[in-house]
Chains A and B, each alone.
Chain A
Amino acid sequence: DAGVTQSPTHLIKTRGQQVTLRCSPKSGHDTVSWYQQALGQGPQFIFQYYEEEERQRGNFPDRFSGHQFPNYSSELNVNALLLGDSALYLCASSWGLAGGPETQYFGPGTRLLVL
């Protein structure tokens, strides 16, 4: 049973570019959340997708957008990259919205470096 997978594992971009990160949830899961983890800090919630809609959003600008596909996989898009967007981006999946955080499984993350 594959867990949460994310691609790519590492990525280098320059300021002003756009980036797309991908996440495949654990088998049987239909809800995907994205977190940004800056170096030396705890993860910060970006947004959550369920039934192909954004259900919750953290304190992130509109440059951060997402999408969920019918197969429950998800993409995180960041436009007009800033140096401060350099971070580890974590995807977490779960089933439905009613379960507690303990039902979430995290992927290994995509490390983005913006130069």
Chain B
Amino acid sequence: GNSVTQMEGPVTLSEEAFLTINCTYTATGYPSLFWYVQYPGEGLQLLLKATKADDKGSNKGFEATYRKETTSFHLEKDSVQVSDSAVYFCALPHTIKAAGNKLTFGGGTRVLVKP
């Protein structure tokens, strides 16, 4: 089955630092890839997505590029803010057609941005 591996946290940064969170995946075919964010006390929110190889998803200053060759979808942000403190999850859907929109998530990476 599909699986996602992402770097373990916590990642502690100072404000305006560069953030990168590694994500690699194993999947049948070429599924869409997603990053979700979970702010303290809240549910998951879709942060960005990419639907095919070399696509770049972006949102709120975050970017991730779908790399088919390295089966990776690393999340990056040039200058983080304290408000970016959250847990970030890399995810991909089940690729079997009948599976609907079931998601497989990575273990999550906690990011703490200090002022």
Contacts and interface: CB of A to CB of B under 8 A. Distances in A.
B100 A31 contact: yes
Interface in A27-81: 31, 33, 35, 40-45, 48, 50, 55-56, 58
Contact of B46 (A35, A58, A97, A102): A102
Contact of A109 (B43, B45, B99): B43
Contacts of B100: 31, 48, 50, 55-56, 97
Contacts of A41: 107-108
B101 A101 contact: yes
Interface residues of A, number: 29
Interface string B33-58: 01000000111111001000000000
A107 B43 contact: yes
Q: Which of B41, B44, B46, B104 gathers the greatest number of chain A CB atoms within 10 Å?
A: B44
Interface of A: 4, 31, 33, 35, 40-45, 48, 50, 55-56, 58, 90, 92, 94, 97, 99-104, 106-109
